[in-house]
Amino acid sequence: MPKRENISMSVIRRLPRYYRFLLQLQKSGVVRISSTELSARLGLTASQIRQDLNCFGGFGQQGYGYMVEQLAEAIGNILGVSNRYRTVLFGAGNLGSAIAAHMNFKDLGFDLIGIFDNAPSKVGSIIRGIAVQDTKNFPAFYAQHKPEMAVLCTPRTAAERIVDHLYQLGIRNYWNFTHYNIAMKYPDTLVENVHLNDSLLTLCYQISNQEGNEH
């Protein structure tokens, strides 16, 4: 896919939402949908949706709407879901095991090819058909398989050491569930940080604020 310049991150972050919703419509047998219907279901304005999609070319026809299957395919191509970026996961604890077992990586542009942990109780266990390996074996694994992305589910205290090692080997892309700020030390990396605590605290505020308004 050609590189696209000057697309705002806010637009990029809405694309997975469009894509997920369109796939749901496909499964429900919906063939065509108007921007007005799409906006009502997504809680966005029709104008916002049209502006977002126009960043990537023309989709749909005025007065006719969008063909659901074609738009889903187009957005999937924009997102790059047909890629198979070789992926490894570090940290086979509760969180890492759940992500490895339940995330459908291959439908999202990635191929999970290795899971690593340094706890003897984890090494050798099987998660989704993949045997957990000792972290010390990773250099040899990297030399053979050249993974392009790492999922980090380790404790914060271990994350910096692991990232230093991965960076030296050549990995520049991270899905980061730790609280370690990778990009601060390595600004040439691509990092998607996932802070579950932040999400829960946001909900906590909303509930608290709602209760305050009721009194």
Which residue bears the tokens 């604020």? 209
Give the span between the Cα atoms of 45 and 41, in whole angstroms: 10
74 and 127: one domain? Answer: no
Choose the final residue of a domain: 36, 51, 78: 78
How many structural domains compose the chain? Answer: 2
Choose the final residue of a domain: 51, 78, 105: 78
Give the span between the Cα atoms of 83 and 92, in whole angstroms: 25
65 and 139: one domain? Answer: no
Per-residue model confidence as pLDDT tens digits over 101-134: 999 999 999 999 999 999 999 999 999 999 999 9
pLDDT at 85: 97
pLDDT at 22: 94
The DSSP H or E segment spanning 205 is: helix 196-214
Answer whether 150's CB lies under 8 Å from 91's CB: no
**Model pTM score:** 0.88
Q: Domain range holding 182?
A: 85-198
pLDDT at 59: 77
Percent of the chain with pLDDT over 70: 93
Strand 32-33 versus strand 110-117 pairing type? unpaired
68 and 166: one domain? Answer: no
98 and 179: one domain? Answer: yes
Angle in degrees, 0-180, between the axes of helices 46-54 and 35-42, rounded to the nearest 10? 110
141 and 182: one domain? Answer: yes
91 and 163: one domain? Answer: yes
23 and 113: one domain? Answer: no
Answer whether 94's CB lies under 8 Å from 158's CB: no
CATH of the domain at 22: 1.10.10.10
Per-residue model confidence as pLDDT tens digits over 14-70: 999 999 999 999 999 999 998 888 899 999 998 898 889 888 876 766 667 899 999
